[in-house]
Amino acid sequence: MNIALIASNCRTVRSTRCNIAMTFFVRHLATSRLVLPPKNIKLEAVLRSVSTSVSLQGRVVPFKLSDIGEGIREVTVKEWFVKPGDKVSQFDEVCEVQSDKASVTITSRYDGMIKALRFKVDEIALVGQPLVDIELDDEGENGSEEVSGTTEISPQEKTSLNTEHQRGSEASRESLIGKVLTTPAVRRIAMEKGIRLKDVVGTGKNGRILKEDLLSYDDNEPSDSDIEESTKPQWQPDKTNRVQGEVKTVALKGYAKHMWTTMTRSLSIPHFVYSDECDVTKLVKLRDEVKAAMKERGIALTYMPFFIKAISKALEKFPELNARLNEDTQTVEVLPWHNICVAMDTPEGLVVPNVKNVQNLDVVTIAKELNRLQELGKRTAIPPSDLAGGTFTLSNIGVVGGTYTKPVILPPQIVIGAVGRTQKLPRFDADDKVVAAQILSVSWAADHRVVDGATIAKFSNLWKYYLENPALLVMN
């Protein structure tokens, strides 16, 4: 065979394909009997056919990260299930990625060998970027698509080539027997629907299964309800039990509308939250001793009067916390009167009246004032005068449940406190002995634009001191 003849014809075809064809011919020249096409067949067609078949063997393709839905544009690679050199098949697990919404396991769309991993663990991959490189085992549909895209040859060339290579074509067709031809997208749909591809008759080229074939098969497949119809119980659910009616739209009004406005303003405040606990064992004992006597006088004595009085005593040391913030002028008004607000749950919603001039009141008088406000709250009859003028707020979430919380400041105030329920817990006494103690949890929130954390901590410590030594609250 004249190799020079082949080389001269390479000028009419792509150099890359010629090089492949030359390599192919030289490799087989000494070991095989090459059958040349008849003289009326252009050698260019032969080279084109050979170069195409050779170029499809072992092609490396990038496996890209597909859109996984929900508007996710990037993910973090959390774990690789493969490494370079591993063999993978379609739907084998490749890696696990984490978005800001969920974890997703990525599966392979190809049969082949992993050549390279494009990302390390904890690196961020964008949708559309290659995750791995895969060397394909059998390109199937990809190969046929590339062949169909090559330069066409004349009918005479096709006839002669088919005659000369009939035996090779028959062998190629035999290798496809038993292999289902379809695309990765169709395979994925089949897996999601639980359909065996070998049960589906393909209407595409060479029996290729198209998406329409799969959907048609799924429509004609008997449903689970049809199969199980004979085994279903004869009774049916009572449809009268179904909830029926119209959606009810409730307009915010009254206390609820005021809370909407106030809490919306609070969103702009940077909250500094400080929490602590205090031992109120002595306070519990003191209240138990006078509770019956107060009841005879028509006074319901709770712990709140003590909490409120302790706030007022602590504010004497830290008057800058009893203040109003003017955001327009960026000034703080420090107030001499202690109008302590108390959050109350009423039939119409949350309301926050205040006990005025607590600095001048004793614990019993504070208790009477709280009883009055609570009775008005039950009737939703608290007047505006009792709602205006608050300087500091305390919420008692403990009457409902819970321990620590994050209270929300009521502007223009700059501090709010919240106490949780009292719990009987083991603690060490002065002699390092374990004793039962009544422990109260408290949380404070301050406007961090004008109040620093150290001030709140010192204020809380002083408030705690008064509660742990309740005699100091009733001396006056």
Which pLDDT tens digit goes with each residue over 389-426?
A: 999 999 998 888 888 889 999 999 999 999 999 999 99
DSSP 8-state code for residue 188: H
pLDDT in tens, 241-296: 566 788 888 877 767 777 888 888 888 899 999 999 999 999 999 999 999 999 99
**Which pLDDT score is estimated for 154?**
47
For domain 255-474, give its CATH number from 3.30.300.30, 3.40.50.12780, 3.20.20.70, 3.30.559.10: 3.30.559.10
d(C-alpha 406, C-alpha 416), whole Å: 10
CB neighbour list of residue 348: distance below 8 Å, 6 or more residues apart = 254, 255, 256, 380
What band does 72 get if pLDDT is binned at 50, 70 and 90? confident
Classify domain 60-136 by CATH architecture. Answer: Beta Barrel (2.40)
Q: Domain extents for the chain?
A: 60-136, 255-474
pLDDT in tens, 144-190: 333 333 344 444 444 444 444 444 444 444 444 445 677 767 777 77
Q: Report helix, strand or coil for 71.
A: coil
Choose between 75 and 298: higher pLDDT.
298
Q: Which secondary structure element, helix H or strand E, spans residue 185, and what is its range?
A: helix 184-193
Distance set, CA 297 to CA 14, 137, 290, 367, 391 (Å): 109, 94, 11, 12, 30
Choose between 315 and 29: higher pLDDT.
315
DSSP 8-state code for residue 316: H
Cis amide linkage into residue 412, ω under 30° from 0: yes
d(C-alpha 340, C-alpha 309), whole Å: 9
How many beta carbons lie within 10 A of that of residue 399, not counting itself? Answer: 14
Cite the active site residues: 448, 452
**Which pLDDT score is estimated for 364?**
96
* Angle of the 166-175 helix axis to the 155-164 helix axis, nearest 10: 80
Q: Are 208 and 181 in contact (CB under 8 A)?
A: yes
Choose between 266 and 11: higher pLDDT.
266
**Which pLDDT score is estimated for 340?**
98
**Which pLDDT score is estimated for 159?**
45
According to DSSP, the β-strands at 344-346 and 124-126 are unpaired
- CB burial readout 289-328, b (16+ within 10 A) else e: eeeeebeeeebebbbbbbbbbbbbbbbeebeebbbbbeee
